[in-house]
Amino acid sequence: MAIVNTQRSPDRPAPISETSVVGWLQRNLFSSVFNTLLTIFMLFIIYLAVKGILVWGLFDATFIAENRRECYDKSLTGACWAGVIDWLDNIFYGRYPRDQIWRINAGGLLLVLWMLPMWLPRVRGKVLVGATVVVFYPFLAGYMFSGGEMGMLTQIMASGAIVSFALIMANMLVGLCKDMGLNSFVLEVFGKSKAADKTQRNLLLALVAALFVPAYLWLSTWALEVISWTKWGGLFLTLVISGIGIASSLPGGILLALGRRSELPVVRVLSTGFIEVFRSVPLITVLFMATTMFPLFMPEGFVLNKLTQVIIAVILFNACYMAEIVRAGLQAIPKGQFEGAHTIGLGYWGTMGLIIMPQALKHMIPNIVGNLIGLLKDTTLVSIIGLFDLLGMLRSISKDVPWLGLHKEPLIFGAVLFFIICFSMSKYSRHLEVKLSAGEKH
């Protein structure tokens, strides 16, 4: 008779050396004599660094003072943050008129709200959200920031922006409350959800047009004060330049990458040459070229302001880097994907837009975001050619009479600000990468 224990014996708990804090410490910090010494040495260094930073930046620092002398009178060994605090408005908005700052804030808030649906899982139509932001938002924001006379095109596009913003907000609410798209909700309200496709489409178009007219009329009542680009500055200018750069370097990069793989020799050679030239020279030379040589290229009497020149240079420069990233992504796509797309009868643009690009871009998200972070950091270079971006503003604090010679604190403030922005961008890209590849099997 066999003796079989039919009941599963309970799991024994993991040994205490594996689970306890002490076990963790022993394994990770004190596993050998050498490791212990290393740990102690590192702790000592960390202690010195943290203590130095805290004492200088916090405990001994001066936060309220009228000028630098007063800072010194209060404390000689600490930082003088009073200068930075005094200049905070300038650091964020440059020399933008103080009573008009609401325009920048409103523009920023608009963008945040507009992009909000992208992060809400229940909301439909995310591609449309992204597309409308790129197409319409710049016109509305551009007008809000610079003001003045509104041209015909600007007015149409800005009205488009208002309409699409309203629709996206409505879509977001509907999505959050009812878990459905705005279009199906509207059709349901009108009782046409069973009607023919054409009727449905006409109804939706009519609704959009009905929204567009009042928006257009309302916009013509707007008359914002003109604010010249020379007054733009600080973090605002940095974000404007890098924002435009980010929004346009990706499409530009895709075009250049396609051009480089094109079968037309002229297109291929030109794209390759363009990419290679811009990639092998430093950004600062491109910026100088933009400010000294662009005016020579243009027909006589055609004047671009410095900000536009800089933005064009930033876009061209980054589009070339983006092109190489996109190309690498395209090369990673197996040939079968192209053949499959041909088989189901797609043309060149259909193949690229529907089959190849989505896969290639998804593969390349970490590199793309890395490049965008680089773009944001590189924007500081415009301070060298005399624009007052974030770094330019920080550096002019030391030339302000009350804060004469206050160099270190503004720079450290700027470094921390950039660190926060760039670090969260890179963390977010890692999160995105994990999320998008979650469905893939390796």
Taking CB under 8 A as the rule, does residue 126 contact other proteins?
no
Residue 305: helix, strand or coil by DSSP?
coil
Question: Least separation, in Å, of the C-beta of 249 and other proteins?
Answer: 18
* C-beta closer to other proteins: residue 41 or 222: 41
Taking CB under 8 A as the rule, does residue 300 contact other proteins?
yes
Question: Least separation, in Å, of the C-beta of 196 and other proteins?
Answer: 41
Looking at 199, 220, 285, 331, which residue binds other proteins (CB under 8 A)? Answer: 285
Residue 345: helix, strand or coil by DSSP?
coil
Taking CB under 8 A as the rule, does residue 217 contact other proteins?
no
* C-beta closer to other proteins: residue 162 or 290: 290
Taking CB under 8 A as the rule, does residue 100 contact other proteins?
no
Rounded Cα distance, 376 and 286, in Å: 16
Residues 248-267 that bind other proteins (CB under 8 A): 264, 266-267
Question: Least separation, in Å, of the C-beta of 93 and other proteins?
Answer: 20
Question: Least separation, in Å, of the C-beta of 30 and other proteins?
Answer: 9
Taking CB under 8 A as the rule, does residue 54 contact other proteins?
no
Taking CB under 8 A as the rule, does residue 230 contact other proteins?
no
Looking at 296, 303, 434, 438, which residue binds other proteins (CB under 8 A)? Answer: 296
Token pair belonging to 262 = 């094109």
Taking CB under 8 A as the rule, does residue 419 contact other proteins?
yes
Residues 21-40 that bind other proteins (CB under 8 A): 28-29, 31, 35, 38-39
Token pair belonging to 292 = 């000294």
* C-beta closer to other proteins: residue 178 or 408: 408
Stretch that binds other proteins, among 145-153, 211-219, 333-341, 407-415 (CB under 8 A): 407-415
Taking CB under 8 A as the rule, does residue 51 contact other proteins?
no
User: Alpha-carbon dihedral of residues 420, 280, 249, 427, nearest 10 degrees?
Assistant: -30
Question: Least separation, in Å, of the C-beta of 315 and other proteins?
Answer: 17
Rounded Cα distance, 128 and 163, in Å: 13
Token pair belonging to 321 = 């880097």
Exposed, middle or buried by CB within 10 Å (0-12, 13-18, 19+), for 375? buried
80 bridge partner residues: 62
- How many CB atoms lie under 10 A from the CB of residue 231? 16
Q: Which residues of 238-263 are buried (b: 16+ CB within 10 A; e: fewer)?
A: bbbbbbbbbbbbbebbbebbbbbbbe
Report whether 274 contacts 201 (CB < 8 A).
no
Rounded Cα distance, 90 and 231, in Å: 10
Looking at 17, 423, 430, 435, which residue binds other proteins (CB under 8 A)? Answer: 423
Residue 195: helix, strand or coil by DSSP?
coil
* Distance linking the first and last C-alpha atoms of the chain: 49
Report whether 287 contacts 313 (CB < 8 A).
yes
Backbone angles phi, psi at 183, to 5 degrees: -60, -45
Rounded Cα distance, 187 and 200, in Å: 7
Rounded Cα distance, 303 and 86, in Å: 37
* C-beta closer to other proteins: residue 218 or 423: 423
Q: Name which of 217, 213, 188 is nearest 200 in CA terms.
A: 188
Rounded Cα distance, 163 and 161, in Å: 5
Question: Least separation, in Å, of the C-beta of 429 and other proteins?
Answer: 12
Taking CB under 8 A as the rule, does residue 143 contact other proteins?
no
Taking CB under 8 A as the rule, does residue 404 contact other proteins?
no
Stretch that binds other proteins, among 4-12, 42-50, 79-87, 130-138 (CB under 8 A): 42-50
Taking CB under 8 A as the rule, does residue 52 contact other proteins?
no
Looking at 133, 391, 393, 397, which residue binds other proteins (CB under 8 A)? Answer: 391
* C-beta closer to other proteins: residue 29 or 361: 29
Stretch that binds other proteins, among 196-204, 219-227, 337-345, 375-383 (CB under 8 A): 375-383
Q: Which residues bind other proteins (CB under 8 A)?
A: 28-29, 31, 35, 38-39, 42-43, 45-46, 264, 266-267, 270, 276-277, 279-285, 288-289, 292-293, 295-300, 373, 377-378, 380-381, 383-384, 391, 395, 407-408, 411-412, 414-415, 418-419, 422-423, 426
